[in-house]
Amino acid sequence: MSIKSSKRGQVPPFVVMDVMKSASDLEQQGKTIMHLEIGQPSTGIPQSIAEPLKHLIGSESLGYTVAQGIPELRERIALHYRQAYDVEVPAERIFITTGSSAGFQLALLAGFDIGDRVALASPGYPAYRHIVSSLGLVPELVPVGPETRYQPTVNLLETLSDEIDGLIIASPSNPTGTVIPDQQFEDLLEYCNGRGIRLISDEIYHGITYGLDARTAAGSVYPNIVINSFSKYFSMTGWRIGWMVVPEDLERTVECLAQNHYISPPTLSQWAALYVFGASDELNANISRYAQNRSILLSGLPKAGITKLAPSDGAFYLYADVKDLTSDTAQFCRALLEEAGVAVTPGHDFDPNRGHETLRISFAGSTQDMHEAVSRIQNWLPTMQR
């Protein structure tokens, strides 16, 4: 007798992880690979917080905390909203989560029922659509392009054939790095609120922008959910720690879900997150490095023939339209990795319909690697088999 397995659990792989695996296989064979595929800071936690953490490990039991997270960290995040955005967010509405990834699960479980439709931009972060579908919700892809800076607009939402129950936005976005302009952001908030659409704002790349500040949906009068993380600006990917700002109507629901699904977020990571707020010099030095890396790619890639780049206002990505060079970026990226030793991510991870003509280049690595990658791409492209 065959044993049932779920259909909703059958999500596609996270392609960037597959690219990383191929790159690592080549490294095992002795090749030097430039890692421009992965969206994580190449730096670890700021050195200044290592000592207090060592002390905690030696002196505290570090057991479970309350599901919502330690009050010290929630208060510190509330202060962050006051200082960085001039908005008031009560600490009771802040939930510490196991990375923003857990925040998404909690937000979607709290906000929607099976079969509800959640709109998201395409290209967009692939896990959105896969988390949405694995929870029994329906992802409604909103195709976006250079006309709207690769971001959803009210007009685009109005063209959808089905009514939607939710909308996920990300500004700056992954994979394009584009920021939603202030008025467009306000219009989306107002439109969603007026139609009973629950808006989830992914603010994980806040703090990493190049001249244009991103707006927060926290502190708004509308019942939005805000998701954020210590993974990117705070350079703490492996600590699996993030936060949500939850509207009043969902506070108790999210608390009960968090208790049952996770018990509590990782305790040592919560303390590390609290301490990291005191390390802004080291963190801001990372942002200067990303800015320098971005300039190297923005001047080097067009010389190699990669000219159509989304305006990268933030995050550490360049999203390139390379249809003049290939109609199959999966194959293009494989050849670039195997022949030139440069790992980048093919666009179909982010846009299942049009991603065969695009790719994402991450500049989170070292400046030296950016120079080397540009030089390898410039040398390889003229030799590429078309």
Ligand X SMILES: Cc1ncc(COP(=O)(O)O)c(C=O)c1O
State the Cα–Cα distance between residues 251 and 37, nearest whole angstrom: 37
Q: Among residues 46 and 103, whose Cβ is nearest to ligand X?
A: 103
- The token pair that represents 332 in the structure block: 């293009």
Non-local (6+) Cβ contacts of 244 within 8 A are 94, 95, 97, 103, 106, 107, 225, 226, 227, 228, 254
Nearest to 338 by CA among 97, 12, 22: 22
Minimum Å gap between C-beta 204 and ligand X is: 4
Closest-approach residue to ligand X (CB): 99
Cβ pair 39, 17 in contact under 8 A: no
State the Cα–Cα distance between residues 143 and 159, nearest whole angstrom: 11
Minimum Å gap between C-beta 276 and ligand X is: 14
Q: Among residues 304 and 350, whose Cβ is nearest to ligand X?
A: 350
Minimum Å gap between C-beta 20 and ligand X is: 12
Rg (CA), the chain: 21
Helix, strand or coil, per DSSP, at residue 95: strand
State the Cα–Cα distance between residues 28 and 20, nearest whole angstrom: 12
Q: Among residues 316 and 376, whose Cβ is nearest to ligand X?
A: 316
Nearest to 214 by CA among 205, 225, 226: 205
Minimum Å gap between C-beta 99 and ligand X is: 3
Q: Among residues 16 and 340, whose Cβ is nearest to ligand X?
A: 16
Nearest to 231 by CA among 48, 129, 343, 101: 101
Return residues touching ligand X (CB under 6 A).
39, 99-101, 125, 170, 174, 202, 204, 229, 231, 237, 242
Q: How far apart are the first and last CA of the chain?
A: 50
Q: Among residues 286 and 326, whose Cβ is nearest to ligand X?
A: 286
Q: Among residues 257 and 381, whose Cβ is nearest to ligand X?
A: 257
Minimum Å gap between C-beta 128 and ligand X is: 8
Minimum Å gap between C-beta 59 and ligand X is: 28
